[in-house]
Amino acid sequence: MSLSALIDRQGLTFSGRDLSVGNRTLKMPYTILDAGRFASGIAVVFDYMEFDKSERCENLWAIDLEGNRVWIAEAPDVPANAYVSLISTQPLKAWNFACYICTLEPECGRLIEAEFAK
């Protein structure tokens, strides 16, 4: 089974900064690298290259179906902390640039576990 099979994209498509949910297209503030539905909304991984390099990269957000940000995911306390893709939406897991598999609390984005996988 491919990893993409673990991500619920039912009714979701994305291209550039556009995220389509059913018949509705939402304009996001950054280019979308990955997105998937989970219990309380949509997890969106934005292109980390578009964020300020002098600050922590907070590029994994949960949004509601209206496009409102619900939370920003906590990341491991490592220099290259940007997220690069989703691994699964049930449980909510994402891959980060420093080779950590991060399990997140879907209600608030709290980092539950960071497993180094290099």
* 116 vs 17: CA distance, rounded Å: 30
Q: What are the angstrom distances between the C-alpha of 46 and each of 7, 63, 85?
A: 16, 12, 9
Domains in the chain, start-ordered, CATH in brackets? 3-116 (2.40.128)
Total number of residues shown for the chain:
118
Mean pLDDT (the chain) is 93
Residues 92, 104 contacting (CB under 8 angstroms): yes
pTM: 0.93
Q: What confidence category does residue 3 fall into, taking pLDDT thresholds of 50, 70 and 90?
A: low
For the stretch 61-117, pLDDT in tens is 999 999 999 999 999 998 889 999 999 999 999 999 999 999 999 999 999 999 999
